[in-house]
Structure formats: C-alpha cells, structure tokens
Structure 1
Amino acid sequence: MSQTVKGVISRRKGADVELVDVVVPDPGPGEAVVKIQACGVCHTDLHYKEGGINDDFPFLLGHEAAGIVEAVGDDVTEVKPGDFVILNWRAVCGQCRACRKGQPQYCFATHNAKQKMTLTDGTELTPALGIGAFIEKTLVAAGQCTKVDEADPAAVGLLGCGVMAGFGAAVNTGEVKRGESVAVIGCGGVGDAAIAGAAIAGATTVIAVDIDDAKLEQAKQFGATHTVNSSRTDPIEAIRELTGGNGADVVVEAVGRPETYEQAFYARDLAGRVVLVGVPTPDKQVTLPMIDIFGRGGALKSSWYGDCLPSRDFPMLVDLYKQGRFDLDAFVSERIGLGDIEAAFAKMARGEVLRSVVEL
C-alpha cells in the first residue's frame, strides 16, 4: 500500500518551498522505492523553483541523492531491497539508436517511474529530473538506482548530478590526457569537479579561472596548479602565458555565459578542445567568426551530465573516494535538514557554499 512521507515542493514560480505530506505509491513493474539518506541542494533545483525549466508545477525538488532501496516492483533485477544506491537521471533504455550503437551514455530514451507521487489531495507532483529526492522516500525507475559500495551518503550522493557533470566534462567529454594543460572557467561545484577530474586524469597544468578570490583559493584544494582572477586579469592572455604562449589543451567552461564561452574558445591551443558544461539560459547567444572556428581546428563540445554512464562511472568514483584520491567530502559545505532548504537556496545565490546537503 502507499505511504505518506514528508517532502519539499515548489508550488508555484518564485514562491518559497514548502514541507508537505507526499503520497508515495508502492513500486510497480520496473520501479523502486528508495529511502533517502542525503540529497544535495543543486542549482537545477533552484531553476525548477524559479520556473526556468518548465511550468509543470508543483515540483517535488531534489535529485542529487543516495539512499537504501526499500522495495522493488515486478521484473526488477538491477537492485534489491537493502542495496545502497546513488540515484541518477540517466536510466538507459538499451533499445534506442545510441544504445544499439554501444553508446548508452548518450541514451535518447532515458526513463522515469511511470506512477506519480501526489499530494494528499491527489495533486500529481513533477519530480525534479525525474527523481524528486527532498523527501523521506521516493519512487523512481529501478534503472535510476546505481548500486555502489556503502560510503557517506552526503558525499557520494553528489555524484548524482553536479560533481559527475564536472568530473565527466573533463575526463569523458574533454578526454584529458596525462601531461596536458587544462583551464576551467567558473569554480563552483561543477568547475571544481572538473578541476579534480583533470588532476586525477594526469593533467600537469590545471588553471582555475574565476572572479572570486575565495573560490580560487578553494580550487587549489581540488588540484588547481594556477589561479586567475578574471576580474583583474585578461584570462585569455593569462592562460596563454601559463601554457608557453599556446593556450590550454582543454578549456572547460562551467559558467554558461557568452563572454566566458568566448574566453574559453580563444584560450585553447590550436587543435585544443572546448567543453561547455555550464548551463546557459535560453536567451544566451554567442557569435564567433567562422574563420576562427575553421582556422583553430580542434573540437567544440557540449557535456550533458558529464557524458556519464552511471553504472560505469559511479562505482569507479566511489572507489576513488574511498581510496582517498577524490575528495568528495570537500564539496559538502554544510549538512542541513528538510526545513532548511529555502535558506540553502539563498546561500547558493550568494555564492557562500559549494553544496548544502540535506540529511534525513
């Protein structure tokens, strides 16, 4: 039978979030109910709250989560009750043209739970990124559960979105190689994860670029070898100077603005790679001379979820964390409760935290 639990919703655009009763159905075929242990407060949740994704209110917010599988529906073989899992929003279908080509990390038909969680009056909720994890228990597609070795859920749950996006932007999309130079523009949680990924992949020069000295200092903790404050220094010239006058082999843009994308484009070496992982708003446009696009060669790439395959990448990154080689703890700025999410959004907007993490 269904359960009624506490969850955090956004009822309408711009309104403060609310802690309410949510009805969670028993899992149907291909579904799982997960008891949430921790969930990060991500910018994407704020975008949902502000109506920046769509207008399918009310939203059940939260998606960077880890927890324990409580129950599964018929035909579920991926996980079983008692498994410790990280939730993902790329449950691959196995049948689309990307999957058939052996590229499930680009699956074009990822899926969510078919049943809806509701308010007690029957109002259907739209779960953020098909997950909805600011809640005591959530209903997801079983394929959205990635089993990993048990570890601190507040730390490893962040692999469910932002940290994976940044790490994967460098390692999977940017294909950083040993001995290469990498610049990362924007040193929030995603940018710092890209810095960590570049360092782990063996980059010997890792340049952090931001307008905030405190963020630049923090970037050193994740592996930055050099920092550039772009409010005082031309970042293109600074990156070139730090790379023998050539530009970086890989530049990761983790802001999502035209001016920083242009900086990334011109700060790369000839035949270098630019990776866009910062999420732009729909109104943003960039204009570049076609002769420069042609003449500089290389690749201009976009990274969606770090081009990750959760079943491949999550267990590997948890292993790196447990070995002490990937400091996921450093991304956790504070641990809060379900009633503290609105305040966490305000801290995020002021740039005071990498991640606030809700613990249940």
Structure 2
Amino acid sequence: MPDTVRGVIARAQDAPVETVDIVIPDPGPHDVVVRVQACGVCHTDLHYREGGINDEFPFLLGHEAAGVVETVGAAVTHVVPGDFVVLNWRAVCGECRACRRGRPWYCFDTHNASVPMTLTDGTPLTPALGVGAFADKTLVHEKQCTKVDSETDPAVAGLLGCGVMAGIGAAVNTGNVSRGDSVAVIGCGGVGDAAIVGARLAGAGTIIAIDRDQRKLDWAEDFGATHTIDATSEDVVERIKELTDGFGADVVIDAVGRPETWQQAFYGRDLAGTVVLVGVPTPEMTLEMPLIDLFSHGGSLKSSWYGDCLPERDFPMLIDLYRQGRLPLDRFVTERIGLDEVEQAFTAMGEGKVLRSVVVW
C-alpha cells in the first residue's frame, strides 16, 4: 500500500523550502523503500532550490542519507529488509559503454526508482540526485543502497552519500595522490576538507589549504592541512609555489568551481601536474585562457564526479577506516537538526558557519 510521509520540497525557484505530505508508492520490482535515519544538508540541494541544476520542479530535496531498508520489490536481491544502508546516486548499470570498458565510475545509465514519489494531489516529485531523502521514507533502486556496518552513527554514515565521498575521492581516486606528493585544495568547506583528509590518507607530504574565511582555514588545519593561504590577502598562485620550492603542487583540487579558482588551480600546479575540479560550476560560467598555456603546462585536467567512486567498493572501506579511528568522519557533523530546519541550514551554509548540518530522525 502507498505510504504518506513528511518530506521537504522546493516548489519553485528560489522559494523557501516546505515540509509537506508526500506519497511513497509501492516499490517496483527492483525498488526499495528506505526509512531515513539521517540526511546531510548539501550545497547541491541548495543548487536544486535555486534552479541551478534544472527546472524540473517540484524537487524532493536531500540525497546524503543513511537509513534502514523497510520494504523491497519482488525482484530485489541486493538488500533485504532490516539492512542498514547508505544511499548513493551512482547505482551503476553494468551494461553501458563505460561499464563495459571497466570504468563503472563513469556509468552513463545509473539506476533510479522505477515509479515516482508524488505530492498528495498526484504531482510527481523530482528527487534530488535520484534520491530525495529529506523525508521520513524514500524510494530508490536497490543498487542505490550500499550496506555498511550497522553500528555506525547514521549521521556520520550518510555523509558518504555525497560531499565527503566527493572530496576524499577527488584526492584518492581522481587526483591519484601518492605518498610524498604536494597537494593544494582551494575551498575548505565540507568537500574541500574531505579532500584534505583524502590527501592525508594517501600520504601526501605537503597539504595546502586555500580559502577566504579564517574559520574554514582553521578547520582545514584540524583535518590535516600543513599550510594555509588566506586568499583575501595573499596571491594564491605565488604562495603555492613558495610552499613547494617554486614548482607548484603536484595536485591542485578546486572544491569551489568558479573560473577564477580553476585558473588558480591551473597555474598553481607543477609542470605536468594535475588539476581536479570537484566544485560544481553553474551553467552560465565560462572560462577563457590562452591555448598555448594549456599546451605548454602539460599534465592532466580532470573533473571528479562523485569522487569517481564505486559505492560498493568505497563506502564499506571508508566506514571501516572510521571505526578504526583513522578517518574523522564525525568531525564533519557540525549540527544535528530536525526536518523542519532545512531552510535555516541553507542560511548557515551560506554564512560559512557549518561543515554539515545533518537532519536526524
């Protein structure tokens, strides 16, 4: 039977979010109903509310979540009721050209639920990143559920659903940071600090944090940055070079996603170094650079989608590292809030007061 629960929606561009009744339909053959226990407030949710992703309103927001499988479709084999899972938006298909080439982290046909969740009047909802987890329950495809250690705090586990995984993966998977490398990270919010943690896990020798907010630079030091640069008072490129014997960093990660920060990343790297763009630009942003600079600097210019992760491989491993005390995931949780406080959490995010606000049930 369909179930009516509470959910947070964005009804129109830039309108404040609303907590309303939504309808969870009966799951299709490969669908799963998950009772949500925690969901982080990610900047991507704000992008949806602002119309920066697409215009398929109304959106059911929330995607950085963990919970317990409640009901499964007739053909589900991946999980069973009672499993504690982290939700993901890269449920790889195994059949597209990327999957067939052994690059499933680039899957072009990821799975989502086969039937829509709706408002009580029948209006279909567009779930953020195919998840829609600012709700008491949500409906996803079975492969969007990654089973992890059930002893883990849901508020911590859910962070792997987007931002923390994006940052760690940008360093470890996309940037291929190696032992002794120098790494610079531009933008020290949740994703940037996760990239710092990833660089530290990979054994980087020099980790440079760049931001315009001293509070965020202090957070970055707590997560393992060896040096900081205040972008309001220092030349970012020149300072990176000073801290790397005049050469530039081996890997520079842009966790902001603006033309000016990408150029800082490009010119702040060593010859044949790597630039990783993990911050998400908005559609109107453009970039103009001399083509000779692109040619003469060599190296790799990469975009990192979801930290080029494979949830089934990476989520359990990172939870194990957390439970061993080697990965400080809990320090990303700044505050725990109720479902009706998402709009206030967006304000706190914009003011740089939090790494993550997490809705908990």
Contact 2:277 2:304 in 1 (8 A): yes
User: Aligned pairs, how many?
Assistant: 360
1:71 shift after superposition: 1.1
Match of 2:297 in 1: 296
Q: Deviations over 1:116-138 (max 9, x none)?
A: 11111111111111110000010
Alignment of 1:68-217 (within 5 A): 68-150=68-150, 151-217=152-218
**Gaps spanning 5+ residues in structure 1: where?**
none
Match of 2:254 in 1: 253
Task: Give the secondary-structure state (helix, strand or coil) at the position aligned to 1:191.
Answer: helix
1:18 shift after superposition: 1.0
Task: Give the secondary-structure state (helix, strand or coil) at the position aligned to 2:132.
Answer: coil
CA–CA distance in 1 between the matches of 2:302 and 2:28?
38
Q: Deviations over 1:150-197 (max 9, x none)?
A: 201101101100111111111100000001000000001110000000
CA–CA distance in 1 between the matches of 2:253 and 2:54?
27
Match of 2:8 in 1: 8
Contact 2:334 2:357 in 1 (8 A): yes
CA–CA distance in 2 between the matches of 1:193 and 1:55?
30
Alignment of 1:5-84 (within 5 A): 5-84=5-84
**Gaps spanning 5+ residues in structure 2: where?**
none
1:311 shift after superposition: 0.6
Output the amino acid matched with 1:15.
A
Contact 2:6 2:20 in 1 (8 A): yes
1:290 shift after superposition: 1.6
CA–CA distance in 2 between the matches of 1:158 and 1:225?
24
Q: Deviations over 1:237-274 (max 9, x none)?
A: 11111111110000001111111111110110011100
Output the amino acid matched with 2:22.
V
Task: Give the secondary-structure state (helix, strand or coil) at the position aligned to 2:177.
Answer: coil
Contact 2:52 2:283 in 1 (8 A): no
Output the amino acid matched with 1:278.
G
CA–CA distance in 1 between the matches of 2:52 and 2:92?
25
Structure 1 stretch displaced more, 249-258 or 291-300: 291-300
Q: Deviations over 1:207-248 (max 9, x none)?
A: 000011111011011110100101111111111111111100
Match of 2:334 in 1: 333
CA–CA distance in 2 between the matches of 1:13 and 1:263?
32
1:312 is aligned to 2:313? yes
CA–CA distance in 2 between the matches of 1:119 and 1:231?
46
CA–CA distance in 1 between the matches of 2:294 and 2:121?
55
1:114 shift after superposition: 1.0
Output the amino acid matched with 2:26.
D
Q: Hey, which bits of structure 1, 4+ residues long, moved more than 3 A?
A: none
Q: Deviations over 1:27-72 (max 9, x none)?
A: 1111000000000001111111111111111111100000000011
Task: Give the secondary-structure state (helix, strand or coil) at the position aligned to 2:266.
Answer: helix
Task: Give the secondary-structure state (helix, strand or coil) at the position aligned to 1:123.
Answer: coil
Q: Percent identity?
A: 70
Task: Give the secondary-structure state (helix, strand or coil) at the position aligned to 1:85.
Answer: strand
CA–CA distance in 1 between the matches of 2:209 and 2:324?
25
CA–CA distance in 1 between the matches of 2:116 and 2:345?
27
Cα RMSD of the aligned pairs, angstroms, is: 0.8
